[in-house]
Amino acid sequence: MTATHSFSTLVPDAILDAVESTGLWSDSRIYPLNSYENRVYQIGIEDSSPVIAKFYRPERWNEAQIQEEHQTLLKLKAAGVPVVAPLEFNGASLFQHNDMHFCLYPRLVGQHPEADNLDQLYQLGELIGQLHQTLSTRPFLERINVSPLSQMDAATNQILTGNTLLKAPLPKALQLPEKLKPLYIKQIAKLRELSEARIQTYWPTQLRPIHGDSHRSNLMLHEGQFHLLDFDDCQNGVAVQDLWLHITQTENPRQQLSEIIEGYESYLPFETRELDLIDVFKSVRVISYAAWLQSRWHDPAFVKAFSWFGSEEYWINHLNELKSCELEWGQISR
């Protein structure tokens, strides 16, 4: 038994009808772009540059949350922060077609950042500092507030029970094998204990609006300037959340971190106590990624892209990754 997939009606004619409902005229060229949570396409436009159409996954964000994402992007663009903001038509940026929300963006051509490039890491720090400074006047009202322990608990519970928000039951083949559950429970308990201790030692008194998922694929170097893409996970969070994902596994992550923070402090002071939270966010990300794959098993795009998910080998590797989080605890912040 499988769940009805929410994107099953997103056939080419429906995509073109949605785009043309804004008043644009398509030349019928559709090129799918790499996106799993939502659906994103490059659409050719008659006598003009192509646009990027983003169709939001139904029931993930409500309309008010998406509108706040758009308002934030338009505010940042107006303030001169290099982001890719949605196109407006008659004062509107969010549209609906066949019960699915969508928006259009201008196409941006460029390259993603180079891993380990210290000059680029400094520039990325500057960009994120500029972003946080511009958004510092008020928190998000509709978006979520980060809660690492709650997120860890929810993901862990799903993996242990196999209970997701899907209307159809999760196949046994995708669940954590029973024989591995004792090891998983023990490993998660250790990471949660370490995370709770870190949070009790320091947690900011006030959360700030952040991008929320500023990894390399969500940054584009265009005409010598980095631009931030895809604010789908924007939230009230902690500054270091937008910084730590740019630290790669090299012999000297501290040097990378130093470049990022130096660039960031061109705009805002950085609270160095936040460095101790990197291990917390890293652990949460590893656990949540497994739960995310599990909760999207019914999506054909996930089945095709992550065909290896759910095997016993996968879960053993996942346990090893969790163990690595514990063994590497404190190495970056020292």
Which three-class secondary structure state does DSSP give residue 209?
strand
Catalytic residue status for 213: yes
Q: Which of 230, 232, 276, 279 is catalytic?
A: 230
Mind giving me the DSSP string for 269-330? Answer: ---GGGGGGHHHHHHHHHHHHHHHHHHTTT-HHHHHHTTTTTSHHHHHHHHHHHHHHHHTTT
Residue owning tokens 């993603």: 112
Q: Which of 213, 242, 276, 279 is catalytic?
A: 213
d(CA 192, CA 198): 10
Annotated ligand binding at 276? The verdict is: no
Residue 238 near residue 208, CB atoms below 8 Å = yes
Which three-class secondary structure state does DSSP give residue 34?
coil
d(CA 289, CA 275): 22
Residue 285 near residue 148, CB atoms below 8 Å = no
Q: Where are the alpha helices (DSSP H) in 89-239?
A: 118-134, 148-161, 181-201
Annotated ligand binding at 218? The verdict is: yes
d(CA 104, CA 125): 28
Catalytic residue status for 99: no
- Give the catalytic positions in this structure: 213, 230
Question: What residues form the annotated binding site for Mg(2+)?
Answer: 218, 230
Question: What residues form the annotated binding site?
Answer: 218, 230
